[in-house]
Amino acid sequence: MPRQSVKVRGILAEDLDNICKLYNDNFPLSPWSKKSFQNFLNDQNRSPLSLLIKDSGKIAGFVLGRCSKTHPEIFNLNTLLVTEAQRGKGYARVLIEKLVAIVSKNENIKQITVHFRDNNQLESFYSRLGFSGHQIIGTYSDGEAKHQMEIISN
């Protein structure tokens, strides 16, 4: 259970250098630049949502998502990251619950989806967070299977 010193808020411009470093340290196969994050967060046509969790003033993790370009009724959870040192404290659950609560207020969004790779073995993790309907929907460019799970909204 998260402690009292934990705060959740939106990602701000001054957070982007740290967010970019955390992301690239944890996802070296698909690095993003600071400009990539800015473009993601500024794409108002796709209703982006970003949340940051801090513990004792330090970034413990973040979540990013936005509506699908081709299916605006589907909100894609693009990134969920909790720093290695902060894992096991319930911060992923806090971020997901907050994201779902915010996204569910939009009556146009009917589904929240998440995609992940075979090597991440995240099916049981996302199941514990409320996602279901696991399926393999294709492959990534490197041939690894692309998994999808969802939460029905509204």
Structure letter (DSSP) for residue 99 = H
Comparing 122 with 62, the larger pLDDT belongs to: 62
What are the boundaries of each domain within the chain?
6-152
pLDDT score recorded for residue 4:
65
Give the mean model confidence (pLDDT) for residues 97-126: 91
Give the mean model confidence (pLDDT) for residues 22-35: 91
pLDDT in tens, 61-105: 999 999 999 999 999 999 999 999 999 999 999 999 999 999 999
How far is residue 60's CA from residue 92's CA, in Å, rounded to a whole number? Answer: 10
Where does the pLDDT of residue 30 fall: very low under 50, low under 70, confident under 90, or very high at 90 and above?
Answer: confident
Residue 152, helix vs strand vs coil:
strand
Give the mean model confidence (pLDDT) for residues 25-45: 91
Give me the CATH code for the 6-152 domain, please: 3.40.630.30
pLDDT at residue 19 greater than cutoff 90: yes
Where does the pLDDT of residue 117 fall: very low under 50, low under 70, confident under 90, or very high at 90 and above?
Answer: confident
How far is residue 87's CA from residue 144's CA, in Å, rounded to a whole number? Answer: 25
pTM: 0.89
Contacts of 34 (CB under 8 A, 6+ apart): 16, 17, 20
